[in-house]
Amino acid sequence: MLSSDSATFRTREERHGPDASSLLVDCPDSRPFAVAPPASDAAGWSGATAAVLTDQFESVAGRLSAILDSIPVDERSRPSARRIRTLALECAAALGRLREGMTLVVGERDGLERELTEARVQRARALMDAQDSQAGELDARHQALHDDLTALPNRRHCRERLAQALGIAASRHTLAGLLYLDLDGFKEINDRHGHATGDAVLRIVAARLDRALRAGDVACRLGGDEFACLPAGPLSGPQLARLARKLIDAVSAPLMVNGVQLRVRPSIGVAIFPTHADNAEALFRVADAAMYRAKQQRTGFAFGERAD
């Protein structure tokens, strides 16, 4: 700050926009004049203000030059002229320092604003990458647990679901069932009409199983022409027998593929936890053996037998 005999600077609030202010420059023998941010600069001393300040400082320098030109040059007034010249030069020097300081501050603020903008962009990209990664993981898990051809849960998913069902049944001391299906006549269709027709038959069978089951029941494709059904909740032997007959009727109905009427019939093995086995692997083996027995005896379905 200059002395009271020198040019002084002060700020005052002038509503050029929110938080904006102007800088008043008081010089001796001259009306105070303002150096202010443009009205469009709502943030005050920021952004493009540096360029406007430069123009205004040049205008101030012009006014100071006019002051110097007005100084009298006769001998009697020479001391006063020197004093006025000194004050004017001090005012100009102070303006120069102010311009340099403001330019530095504005430059630093612009740099911080650029860094903040870049940080926001990077954060948005990181969020998008995280969402894409999560979606990719979910998609990969879905593919790992589902059959590509029929979109049914695959063997791995079936075993996981069965293990969960047996855990719940064991904790509640209730029953849990497993139905193991194999399609009779499918190999002949595949050999005679080709794999494309065979794939179409498998998709139709998968859809029929899914529609025939109750809400909460799960149909799975184990591979080839083998399927499994996991009934939801505890079912007794007679209830499982009724479900097996329902599935046989649904799958055995004639089906049409490429204008050709075809027919397949399932053989089903039924196993009950803990009656026939006390773990998922053993229950699968019991149901598989019962399915082959039903196929050999042409009974449609058969219940498993406990292996001691």
Main-chain dihedrals φ then ψ at residue 290, nearest 5 degrees: -65, -35
225 flagged as catalytic: yes
Other beta carbons less than 10 A from residue 198's beta carbon: 23
Main-chain dihedrals φ then ψ at residue 184, nearest 5 degrees: -80, 135
208-224 burial, b if ≥16 CB within 10 A, otherwise e?
bbbebbeeebbbbbbee
CB 262 within 8 A of CB 201: yes
CB 175 within 8 A of CB 167: no
Main-chain dihedrals φ then ψ at residue 10, nearest 5 degrees: -150, 160
From 147, 217, 225, 288, the catalytic residue: 225
| Type of residue at 13 | E
What amino acid positions are annotated as catalytic residues? 225
